[in-house]
Amino acid sequence: MFSLKKFTIINASVFYLGSLADDVSSPLRVKLIPKLTHLIGHMIDPIYLEAIIFSSLLTLLSIGLTLTYLTTKVPNFAHGTFAAVGVYITLTAVTVWKGNLYHYLCLAFAIGGATALAQYILVLRPLMRRGASIVGLMITTLAIDIILLAILNIYADYLATQFKILSRYFYLRPYDVTIAGQRGILIVSPTLAVVTVTLLYLVLTRTKFGVAMRAAIENPSLASVVGVNVNIVYAISWFIAGGLAGLAGGLLPIHLLSNPDVGVILIASIFAASIVGGLLNIYGAVLGGFLIGSAEILGTSYIASWVGTWAIPYRPMIPLVAIAVTLLLAPKGLLGVNWLGILRAVRRSKQKAS
């Protein structure tokens, strides 16, 4: 674990290299930066780095799920399989096209977004116009998930037979790059999460489309009356949500052992992140993503160190327990709780007691 001794060594190293860099030319200073980051990376327990990576990817996935729920109020159980689409885009890029997987993340975003958009336009929107219930729409997303899973299995078999590559239970970490002395995914995944949240904030608060989206979310009927094309807003929202899932999926094989059902395995964690943060708040997905991601990685590590490695396969229980506890204590999620009111009530009770 990350001890005080390691922290002291890191501080000493940073001070020494930093003071040395002040006395040298710019080129040498540039050379010192990768060495410093490499040194810090070796000092920090790898489990914390794994938690950062998984939490960042989970955040991208949960933002997409929350976005689709905000627009259509449909819990989309096919959302995890959108990520699996990105997984196989990456596999195809590095094994068939012999490319750099990071160069094809835009393609993963586009195809993931197109898949989600097709689900909304071809299936969900017609059913919504016919007055289908939320339960009916939810079951429909389960059916779509099964169909997409079947297509991915067919594609995996095609890759295996035609190109003689491992297309099931594969791991693409050897194809990762090194950035400033660290694994590329350790830099790229948190950066993508931060950039995504920043762009969403700017779009929602500083653009006409963001105003239209918020209006469509709050009151679709009234938004239509004032000239907002709700269908286009919803369609773009679904495309963005699927694109974020595909983007996260494009990075998953570097971090996780991947298979066509990787999205099905992750769906509980995605829902847990959105529910814990708050399904009605896009920023709650960010909070929930990092909380659930960290809880899964660090929690499993701590439990395994206490009771033994036999506890590791029970990791999926962590998001399920988080969902149950949140729905019981804070149904609207952490960002739906009036924390100021709670603090005031606690202060009043303390004042009365004194």
Query: Is residue 2 scored above 90 in pLDDT?
Result: no
Alpha carbons within 13 angstroms on the beta-carbon side of residue 196 total 28
What region, left, alpha or beta, does residue 170 occupy, with left being phi > 0 and alpha being psi -120 to 50 degrees? Answer: beta
Query: Is residue 16 scored above 50 in pLDDT?
Result: no
Distance CA 21, CA 25 (A): 8
Residue % of the chain over a pLDDT of 70: 88
pLDDT at residue 346, rounded to an integer: 87
Query: Is residue 177 scored above 50 in pLDDT?
Result: yes
For every residue of 335-346, DSSP letters joined together read GGS-HHHHHHHH
Backbone angles phi, psi at 258, to 5 degrees: -115, 150
Residue 276 pLDDT level (bands cut at 50, 70, 90): very high
Q: How confident is the model over 204-228, as pLDDT tens digits?
A: 999 999 999 999 988 898 999 888 9
Average predicted confidence (pLDDT) for the chain = 88
Distance CA 105, CA 215 (A): 31
**Single-letter amino acid code for the residue at 190:** P
Question: Tokens 């990791």 belong to which residue?
Answer: 315
For residue 28 the two structure tokens come to 């040498």
Question: Tokens 């660090």 belong to which residue?
Answer: 298
Q: What is the pTM of this model?
A: 0.86
Q: How confident is the model over 33-69, as pLDDT tens digits?
A: 455 455 555 567 889 999 999 999 999 999 999 999 9
Query: Is residue 130 scored above 60 in pLDDT?
Result: yes
Query: Is residue 7 scored above 50 in pLDDT?
Result: no
Fold of the 56-334 domain: ABC transporter involved in vitamin B12 uptake, BtuC (1.10.3470)
Q: How confident is the model over 290-318, as pLDDT tens digits?
A: 999 999 999 999 999 999 899 899 999 99
Distance (Å) of CA 235 to CA 119, 122, 245, 258, 314? 10, 11, 15, 29, 37
Query: Is residue 9 scored above 50 in pLDDT?
Result: no
Distance in angstroms between the alpha carbons of the first and the last residue of the chain? 42
Q: What are the residues facing 170 on neighbouring strands?
A: 258
pLDDT at residue 34, rounded to an integer: 53
pLDDT at residue 253, rounded to an integer: 96
Query: Is residue 29 scored above 90 in pLDDT?
Result: no
Distance CA 101, CA 108 (A): 10
Q: What is the mean pLDDT of residues 90-94?
A: 97
Distance CA 225, CA 220 (A): 9
Give burial (CB, 10 Å; 0-12/13-18/19+) of 252: buried
Q: What is the mean pLDDT of residues 106-113?
A: 97
Distance CA 75, CA 213 (A): 19
pLDDT at residue 10, rounded to an integer: 37
pLDDT at residue 157, rounded to an integer: 97
Pick the range with the lowest mean pLDDT from 44-48, 68-72, 90-94, 153-157: 44-48
pLDDT at residue 118, rounded to an integer: 97
Q: For residue 189, how far is the Cα from the chain centroid?
A: 9
pLDDT at residue 36, rounded to an integer: 47
Residue % of the chain over a pLDDT of 90: 75
